[in-house]
Amino acid sequence: MLPHLPVPAKPCHIFLLIFVAKLNVDKQVGFDLVVVGNRRFIGEPIFISKGDKEDDGYLLVVEVRMNTSSSMQFQVQRCYLVILDPRRIGEADAVIARLEVPKNLNFPLAFHGFGSRELVVLFQYLIALFLLR
């Protein structure tokens, strides 16, 4: 990931990501991007492998669409699990699916460094459900 969008908050520091970047050493441009829309922020991407080749798998990202109230406080409006094709980062069809998460199951943006086996299995299950529909 590259630069973060700093958002003023109470006494703590919050950095919300607004894009996924892929370093590409084969192109003259050093990286490709997937940028989320206005008032949308993402958590740390998690790669789920489905083979032995580079980029053979899925990139999962929690995306949150925010509202701002009159007091300029951010409020979660919708939460999505976004499935990206790592081979297509930077192209219009990089998003394989954007699954809306029920409000009672919203994922936090703070999955930073959360590489537990249980989470990977959960995401693999969600991908399998999507692919089998």
Numbered residues of the known binding site: 112
Which residues 6+ apart lie within 8 Å of 132 measured at CB?
none
Annotated binding site for Fe cation: 112
- Token pair 């740390």: residue: 44
Mapped onto helix, strand or coil, the DSSP state of residue 21 is: strand
Closest CA to 80 of 42, 120, 34: 42
